[in-house]
Amino acid sequence: MLEIAKTRITGKLYNQNMLDININKKYNVIISMFAVINHLKDTIDLERCLFNLKNILLPGGRIILDLHNPQSSVEKVDCYDNIERKMIWIYDKNSKVEKSKIIFKINNKTYNDSHIFKIFSIEELENVCKKLGLNIINVYENYDVLKKGNSKSKNLQFIIEISQFD
């Protein structure tokens, strides 16, 4: 994906682990979409990641995070042209881990993909942000800035900034 991005984007591109990110430049906005944060294992990794992002954020800058937030196990099938996509999400409320399987059928061939997501609550994110001197400005639901996100939202988008007193 980085090679494809280089053909479409001017500017510096980085390929680093978000737990070890070290860039000698600061940014006004950092965006993490498509549940990237859910790939972290626990709140220790979440804290480490947000600490690193904070360190490359300009004063007054913002971090925008997109988190997956399932409430139950679900199965979904959709089709587009000759492509069928079946998604199976299995959510364990005790461990707060979701295992997902995605099966694509394209031209009579089957392709499988799977993910394991750690699901972080709004409270967990709030606690980590507070500890790091970050302030959650808004939490939205399902990519709609008119809907306030809550614990029942399937997807959550957070807008975070460095606290004024940091």
* Band of pLDDT at residue 51, cut at 50, 70 and 90: very high
Question: Does some domain include residue 153?
Answer: yes
**pLDDT 10s digits, 129-140:** 999 999 999 999
Q: What is the domain extent for residue 85?
A: 74-116
Residue 150, SS3 per DSSP: coil
Mean pLDDT of 89-104: 95
Q: Are residues 20 and 96 in the same domain?
A: no
Write the CB contacts of 157 (distance below 8 Å, at least 6 apart in sequence).
Answer: 64, 65, 66, 67, 139, 140, 141, 143, 149
> What single-letter DSSP state applies at residue 57?
E
Instruction: Identify the pLDDT of residue 164.
Output: 62
**Total domains, the chain:** 2
Least confident of 9-13, 60-64, 108-112: 9-13
Instruction: Identify the pLDDT of residue 138.
Output: 94
Instruction: Identify the pLDDT of residue 165.
Output: 54
Instruction: Identify the pLDDT of residue 154.
Output: 87
**DSSP labels, 79-90:** EETTEEEEEEEE
Q: Are residues 140 and 104 in the same domain?
A: no
Question: Does some domain include residue 28?
Answer: yes
Q: pTM for the whole thing?
A: 0.86
Instruction: Identify the pLDDT of residue 55.
Output: 94
Q: Are residues 105 and 26 in the same domain?
A: no
d(Cα 117, Cα 104) in Å, to the nearest integer? 20
**DSSP labels, 88-101:** EEEEETTTTEEEEE
